Chains A and B, each alone.
Chain A
Amino acid sequence: MSTQPTQRAEPDLLYSQEEDALRAAVRDLLADHCDAAGVIARIESDAPHDRELWKLLADGMGLAGLLVPEELGGQGATHREVAVVVEELGRAVAPVPFLTSAVVATEALLAGEAPDLLAELASGRRIGTLAVALNLPAGSAYKVVRFEDGALHGELTGIADAAAADVLLVPADDGGLYAVDATAAIITAQVSLDLTRPLAKIVLDGAPGRLLGDAEPAVRRALRAGAGLLASEQLGLAEWTLTETVRYLKERKQFNRPVGGFQALKHRLAQLWLEVVNLRAAARNAADALATGSEDADVAVAVAQAFAAPVAVHAAEEALQLHGGIGMTWEHPVHLYLKRAKTDSIAYGTAGAHRAALAELVDLRAP
């Protein structure tokens, strides 16, 4: 007696021609404006976020508004197109707040009634972030601030891209989700493992907030979409690390032959390729389920995250090892991918948290 939710008949796991064209455009832009050396130089500067690049993606291409309906100033696209953009941003470890603002904060706003804020985020002129710690999966308890005498008080940590944000979406102890202007908060950068998506501490000391609606459904919706689309970012990370490692091992010679000709290494790379191929199917499935509003979306997202996290970390760890000494240096970009992949393995819930969710969803319960 199974209590599994019914599956949708036919998830579309391919990329459409339009999605391929979108990918090509984003990849071209990133090739011109987001090279690894530039990212490495930027992450230790005062401005770790690349605002020029963000302007090109948001203003130039309209990507910040993909999930927002056209009547609210967005593009009226779906999670399928967003997934393609996220893949490419992952391939470049681009330091832009796309996932946090154009996906997670936007989804939280889509759950409420704030068309003006949505339009601002969709235009990319303002950046939003959901003030929930990056490690939390949908459905878990999150920290709230105190709502007292019409103002917000409290401290929140682990908030991704808060340093770049203009507006913070803050859950409070009265059950509401509030929009707080970033200028009304004290935002302090935390030294983060992944410097391309830095975390910050937010202190609210009597900050005014605008009530957007109930926090719980908005946060749940936002974190589920974040987790589902993060799998596409992890796919992009894994793709880059595999491709770059294969390229390097064809070129690198030791013992009078290309290192990539040794069977011990070939088998490891072939295994990795297989993992990436599987990840693509799982990530596409999650994006399609979110896009179609399928009743299978919870399962699709949990499967994608439970599968993606170990694959992206494995790919980055193999890339570092197989690059040998050069892979251990600050100047080689592989560390950017390792740090992002390891951070992503915790972001929006660990693989273990998503497996625990699956145990309920597909009726494989714990003892």
Chain B
Amino acid sequence: MTDAAELRRRTAELLAAYPPADTDRLDFLRARFDAGLAWVHYPEGLGGLGAPRSLQAVVDADLEAEGAPDNDPRRIGIGLGMAAPTILAYGTEEQKRQYLRPLWTGEEVWCQLFSEPGAGSDLAALGTRAVREGDGDWVVNGQKVWTSSAHVARWAILIARTDPDVPKHRGITYFICDMTDPGVEVRPLRQVTGEAEFNEVFITGVRIPDARRLGEVGDGWKVAQTTLNNERVAIGGMRLPREGGMIGPVARTWRERPELRTHDLHQRLLKLWVEAEAARLTAERLRQQLVAGQPGPEGAGMKLAFARLNQEISGLEVELRGEEGLLYDDWTMRRPELVDFVGRDAGYRYLRSKGNSIEGGTTEVLLNIVAERVLGLPSEPRTDKDVPWKDLAR
């Protein structure tokens, strides 16, 4: 049993053997991974020690106190939050050994090739085809969209159709795709904000060895659930101080710029401030439930609440700014490496937050999920469940 004391002992050992001040950043991260202190709840040999996940904070605190470098988690969020748990759950021993270490150290960035122009909310209808060759390898053709980090990624998690003759959920297989393959073309996809935070990815005749398949042939939908569930966990459950979210910049502007105040804006601001505080308390309550080992269904709702609040609050802020609200900081096309909802000015926040009710599951789909899985209401009658994929309307 690895307890907090044992973890602290191992952390001290790591720090003694690799003093952060005299150690190359990457060398330190690799040593930390090999010491099982990367993600302590992962198995031994794969960056962890099979310890309770809650004890990671003990290690992180000791490392931070000594000025140890971190793996810049914001830059590799898709790898850490989505690819890694899926590889851990479904990968072969060889796959786990090959991919997890450089994924965690940030040497290799990952992206996610799931959504398609014709398969958004109905992801299981995806049409990117993977055909098996005589030698057992796969040849993939298709188009993916809304792919963050594709332009810097070394690898991608990819789901593709391997059997069009069975109903859609059953004919999908999950692969690891080499983003340096010449058949992979990444084009920036410019958004309403003016920048291209994500990409469209054209896949033409890309060969994927069968050794890069995750899970069984035809089991890709089940494997993808692991990825998507982890995406939703990653979105909820953070700890915020009061006014820590989108309400913060508006409240500061209100205090600093009395000349902008009107009675109408005051009423609306106070209402949103209260709702933002209630949502913050709900996230905090969810966090306390997780720490106490009593996870509730509340997590399903957090993204819904924050999407709406971000949109309404940033919309109010543009209006509050009056003449300045008519301006925009910069329309220059850029390809940022990091997603920042609260960065830049009010106009950017207003436009970027429009994506909050679309990315990671649309608000409409999440409401269905709450209604069916939390409240137990019946699903709509379905016409697509037993129809072979090739016969679906499109």
Which residues of A does B touch, CB under 8 Å? Answer: 1-2, 4, 7, 11-14, 246, 249-250, 257-258, 260-263, 266-267, 269-271, 273-274, 277-282, 284-285, 303, 306-307, 355-356, 358-359, 362-367
Contact = CB atoms under 8 A, between A and B. Distances in A.
B278 A279 contact: yes
B375 A269 contact: yes
Contacts of B279: 278
Q: Which 7 A-B pairs have the closest CB atoms?
A: A266-B371, A261-B378, A367-B261, A281-B281, A13-B285, A270-B370, A281-B282
Contacts of A257: 378, 381
Given A267-B364, A364-B255, A280 B371 contact: no
A14 B367 contact: no
Chain B interface extent, by class: 35 or more
B275 A307 contact: yes
B278 A303 contact: yes
A250 B376 contact: yes
Contacts of A284: 281, 285
Nearest to B247: A364
Given A355-B271, A362-B273, A278 B377 contact: no
A273 B372 CA distance: 12
B305 A281 contact: no
B281 A261 contact: no
B241 A13 contact: no
B285 A266 contact: no
Contacts of A359: 266, 270
A195 B278 CA distance: 31
B282 to A, nearest CB: 4
B261 A263 contact: no
B115 to A, nearest CB: 22
Contact of A274 (B242, B267, B289, B301): B301
Nearest to B372: A266
A274 B370 contact: yes
A271 B110 CA distance: 34
Contact of B261 (A13, A14, A273, A366): A366
Given A274-B301, A358-B274, A263 B258 contact: no
Contacts of B294: 14
Nearest to B242: A7
Contacts of A262: 380
Nearest to B264: A367
Of A2, A262, A282, the most chain B CB neighbours within 10 A belong to A282
B282 A277 contact: yes
B4 to A, nearest CB: 19
Nearest to B254: A364
A355 B364 CA distance: 30
5 contacts: A12-B288, A257-B381, A270-B371, A273-B375, A366-B261
Given A284-B285, A303-B278, A358-B273, A277 B298 contact: yes
A281 to B, nearest CB: 4
B384 to A, nearest CB: 15
A285 B281 contact: yes
Contacts of A12: 288
B368 A266 contact: yes
B374 interface: yes
A271 B377 contact: no
Interface in B336-394: 364, 367-368, 370-372, 374-381
Nearest to A362: B273
B379 A270 contact: no
Given A13-B285, A306-B274, A246 B261 contact: no
A35 B100 CA distance: 59
B371 A278 contact: no
Contacts of B192: none
Given A14-B289, A246-B376, A263-B368, A278 B282 contact: yes
Interface string B284-320: 1100110010100010010011000000000000000
B277 interface: yes
A196 to B, nearest CB: 27
A366 B285 contact: no
A99 B71 CA distance: 54
Contacts of B371: 266-267, 269-270
B362 to A, nearest CB: 12
Contacts of A367: 258, 261-263, 266
B206 interface: no
A270 B263 contact: no
A145 B206 CA distance: 87
B235 interface: no
B378 A303 contact: no
A358 B243 CA distance: 14
A135 B38 CA distance: 57
A364 B251 contact: yes
A366 B282 contact: no
A267 B288 CA distance: 27
Contact of B270 (A263, A281, A358): A358
Contacts of A281: 278, 281-282, 284-285
A179 B364 CA distance: 56
A307 B274 contact: yes
A254 to B, nearest CB: 13
Contacts of A356: 270
Given A266-B368, A281-B278, 18 more contacts: A7-B242, A11-B281, A13-B284, A13-B288, A14-B289, A250-B376, A261-B377, A270-B368, A277-B282, A277-B298, A278-B279, A279-B278, A280-B282, A281-B281, A306-B271, A355-B271, A358-B274, A364-B266
B269 interface: yes
A278 B367 contact: no
Contacts of A306: 270-271, 274
Contact of A269 (B269, B377, B380): B377
Nearest to A356: B270
Given A270-B371, A278-B279, A14 B288 contact: yes
A307 B284 CA distance: 17
Nearest to A279: B278
A7 to B, nearest CB: 6
Contacts of A307: 274-275, 277-278
A312 B258 CA distance: 34
A303 B241 contact: no
A173 B374 CA distance: 54
A324 to B, nearest CB: 16
Contacts of B255: 1-2, 363-364
Contacts of B292: 14
Contact of A273 (B254, B271, B370): B370
B367 A270 contact: yes
A364 B281 contact: no
A271 B367 contact: yes
B346 to A, nearest CB: 17
B379 A282 contact: no
Nearest to B377: A260
A229 B154 CA distance: 55
